[in-house]
């Protein structure tokens, strides 16, 4: 009959295979808790000290950020099995969280658009429209199209630093004034057949 060892938490007598080996234990070379009790203890400890553990992990990551990123990139490039597994996990996570990610992105764009509108004065510079409950009516107009660094939908999902960089070449217009100004700088009739009255089309 195999020798049994007592778990200090559940008080059960279990075989050595149910305990983690512990070099610091001078008596029996095994941990005080069995695997089940140790896992339960660690789970309870993580729940009780979640914020402290997250803060500690963030600090460790910041202190060793370059080294950690370099190791991750090297492993991704050299280990095909790891790369395949990583991409599969990312794909599954994206599929599972697609709706949540999309909603979070839309909320971020809305928040950044309101902030960008206020940054440019909060109203159309031509007609004075300033109803901030209808953000979809206010547009960012580039007087010089060559200065545009990205589309507004892409820009509003970026960092605030990049957004302000893009806004430096913009003015705020309502949808009606925006189309009026855009028509002045673009030739919309070049590839469009003119619309004639029915009386003229017959002649």
Q: What is the mean pLDDT of the chain?
A: 85
pLDDT at 120 over 60: yes
- Residues 145-166 have a mean pLDDT of 84
31-65 confidence digits (pLDDT tens): 989 999 999 999 999 999 999 999 999 998 889 98
Answer left, alpha or beta for residue 27, where phi above 0 means left and psi between -120 and 50 means alpha.
alpha
In this structure, the number of other CB atoms found within 10 A of the CB of residue 105 comes to: 13
- What's the full length of the chain, in residues? 203
pTM over 0.75: no
User: Looking at residue 196, what is its pLDDT?
Assistant: 52
pLDDT greater than 80 at residue 179? yes
First to last CA, the chain: 111
pLDDT of 193 reads 55
**pLDDT of res. 55:** 92
Question: In DSSP terms, which residues pair with 139 in a beta bridge?
Answer: 173
Burial class for 33, CB neighbours closer than 10 Å (0-12, 13-18, 19+): buried
Q: Are 174 and 131 in contact (CB under 8 A)?
A: no
85's tokens: 């597994």
Residue with the larger pLDDT of the pair 183 and 186: 183
* 66-92 average pLDDT score: 89
Compute the distance between CA of residue 147 and CA of residue 59 in angstroms, rounded to an integer: 40
Region of residue 187 (phi > 0: left; psi between -120 and 50: alpha; otherwise: beta): beta
Quick one: which of 150, 160, 148, 135 has its CA closest to 185?
148
The larger pLDDT score, comparing residue 183 to residue 5, is at: 5
Cα torsion angle, 140, 141, 145, 147, sign: negative
The pLDDT score that the predictor gives to residue 131 is 87
């Amino acid at each position: 009959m195999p020798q049994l060892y007592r778990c200090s938490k559940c008080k059960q007598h279990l075989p050595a295979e149910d305990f983690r080996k512990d070099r610091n234990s001078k008596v029996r070379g095994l941990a005080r808790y069995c695997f089940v009790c140790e896992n339960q203890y660690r789970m309870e400890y993580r729940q009780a000290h979640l914020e402290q553990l997250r803060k500690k992990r963030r600090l460790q990551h910041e202190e060793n950020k370059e080294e950690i990123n370099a190791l991750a990139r090297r492993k991704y490039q050299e280990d095909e099995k790891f790369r395949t597994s990583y991409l599969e996990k990312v794909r599954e996570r994206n599929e599972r969280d697609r709706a949540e990610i999309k909603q979070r992105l839309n909320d971020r764009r809305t928040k950044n658009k309101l902030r960008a509108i206020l940054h440019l004065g909060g109203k159309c510079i031509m007609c004075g429209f300033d109803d901030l409950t209808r953000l979809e009516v206010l547009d960012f107009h580039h007087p010089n199209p060559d200065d545009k660094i990205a589309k507004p939908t892409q820009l509003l999902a970026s960092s605030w630093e990049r957004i302000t960089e893009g806004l430096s070449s913009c003015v705020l217009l309502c949808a009606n004034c925006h189309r009026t100004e855009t028509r002045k700088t673009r030739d919309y009739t070049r590839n469009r057949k003119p619309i004639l009255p029915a009386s003229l089309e017959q002649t």
